[in-house]
Structure 1
Amino acid sequence: MRATTGTFSRGLRFALAAFAIALLARIGFEFWADDLQAQPLEDAPIAVAGGGALDARIRLRARDSYRLQLLFVIPADGRERLRNLLAEPVRRDGQQVSEGVVVPLRWSLSEADSGRVVAHGEPRTEGLDAWSGDTFWREAASFAAPPGWYRLRVQATQPVPELAGVTTLINVGLRPKASSSWQTEWAWFGRLLCVFLDPLLMLAALLLAWFAGRSWWVARRAAAAPA
């Protein structure tokens, strides 16, 4: 009986150790994936109405496909007006010249240490690509570069007075479902896999708690039993 109990206790300790390793790996993966998929630049203001500029230091964590977006914060009482301003066709001499008011930009991405430019462009942004409850989005550019620290410069090459009073922001982030590095592939796949693994970890935790409690109770009864 004692040999059986000892074997059970060793098996339980091994199972607890394996569970602890699996749990630490799960937590570590979450921190790693969050850091990898964090936006290199989030909600940085740029005054496009007055031809403003942005100069920011950003970090790319993987060589992947990134996108630069313009975000327009929707005023509390001006959603329809802003939507029309950004998306309604603009006509001149009977011809459509743009989809919504144009925000012309000039941007460059350069290595923080050497200053070498690795990507640049002069997009003529127009229209709407997406929206949420409080924001309209336009995609301005896309680029790929090795992991590291960079200097991002964005300039509104002409004032856009139509957007006076509208808070305009710039985001840089990964392109969803367009990853090209093994890190982002693993992050996307790992998060999907965790949807199925997390319930199994919870079940394993409950089973181990039950076995540990049973082992403690058996050991206590054995210690209390008369010799």
Structure 2
Amino acid sequence: MRKRYIYICLIFLFLHYPVHMLFVNYYSKKPLETQISLNPAGKITEQIEIRMPEIYEFDLSFSRKTHEIMELNELVGGSLANNKTGVVIPLKWSLTSNESKKVIFQRDVQTYGAHLWTKERIYRTIDSITIYPGDYILTIEILKPIPELQDINAKIEISYDPKNSTTWHTDYMWWGTIFNYLISPILIISLLIRLFKSKKN
């Protein structure tokens, strides 16, 4: 009976890692990441799937590859070195339920500055709202051409911040990772030692 218990625990520990990874890959996938034209003024209409209730961030992201950092400070704004507001990009966006065809959100926004610089891209906030699971139609339209940014690759991205998570899904992604890399190896080694000793006896 003791050996059976050890085998069951080992099977659980070995299976938890791939199951957790599948869970993370499914729920952490960005609902949207697509390019949009700034000059001429572009418009996108995309169907998106929301898989968990969360506070989602809508961002304009800009490539860092075509301009130097000081020029990006002036055009996009928001770096720590020189906190400029950058070129203002006016846009309007709406989110419609694909099932009921009801408009859930609709806003006009003046976007400026940046809230995040990474190695590859710069992120500017469009909006931040709570969305519940389901299929939606997202429409975003740039309201005027932005010739100053025409050489910079721009994207619309939707994501959520795990640090500000509000659901058990993100809690399980975080604590499951800690369990897989810190706790599970210790338990596996301990159980294997016990199993070896029980066979020896």
What's the TM-score once normalised by structure 2's chain length? 0.85
Q: Could you tell me which residue of structure 1 aligns to residue 14 of structure 2? A: 23
Q: What secondary structure does 1:39 align onto?
A: coil
CA distance in 1: counterparts of 2:40 and 2:161, whole angstroms = 29
User: 1:129, 1:139 within 8 Å by CA — same for their partners in 2?
Assistant: yes
Cα-to-partner distance string for 1:36-94 (whole Å, 9 max, x where unaligned)? 1221112x000022110111111111111000011100124533322221228xxxxxx
Give 5+ residue unaligned stretches, structure 1: 1-9, 89-97, 220-227
Paired residues, number:
196
1:148 to 131, 134, 144: 134
Q: Which amino acid aligns with 2:127?
A: A
User: Is the 8 Å Cα contact of residues 59 and 147 (structure 1) preserved in structure 2?
Assistant: yes
Q: Is residue 71 from structure 1 mapped to residue 61 from structure 2 by the alignment?
A: yes
Deviation at 1:197, TM superposition (A): 1.8
Question: Equivalent residue for 1:104?
Answer: 90
Q: 1:159 to 1:193 in 2, by over 3 A?
A: same
Q: Is the 8 A contact 2:13 2:184 kept in 1?
A: no
What SS does the aligned partner of 1:133 have? coil
C-alpha distance in 2, partners of 1:169/1:201?
44
Runs of 4+ in 1 over 6 A off after TM superposition: none
Unpaired segments of 5 or more residues in structure 2?
79-83
1:47 paired residue number = 37
Q: What is the letter of the counterpart of residue 62 of structure 1?
A: M
Q: Going by fraction, where is helix more abundant, 1 or 2?
A: 1
State the structure with more CA Rg. Answer: 1
| Alignment deviations for residues 188-224 of structure 1 (CA, whole Å, 9 cap, x no partner) | 333344443233245247537x729x84xx69xxxxx
Of 161, 166, 173, 1:175 maps to: 161
1:119 to 97, 105, 120: 105
Q: Which residue of 2 aligns with 1:225?
A: none
Aligned-pair identity (%)? 25
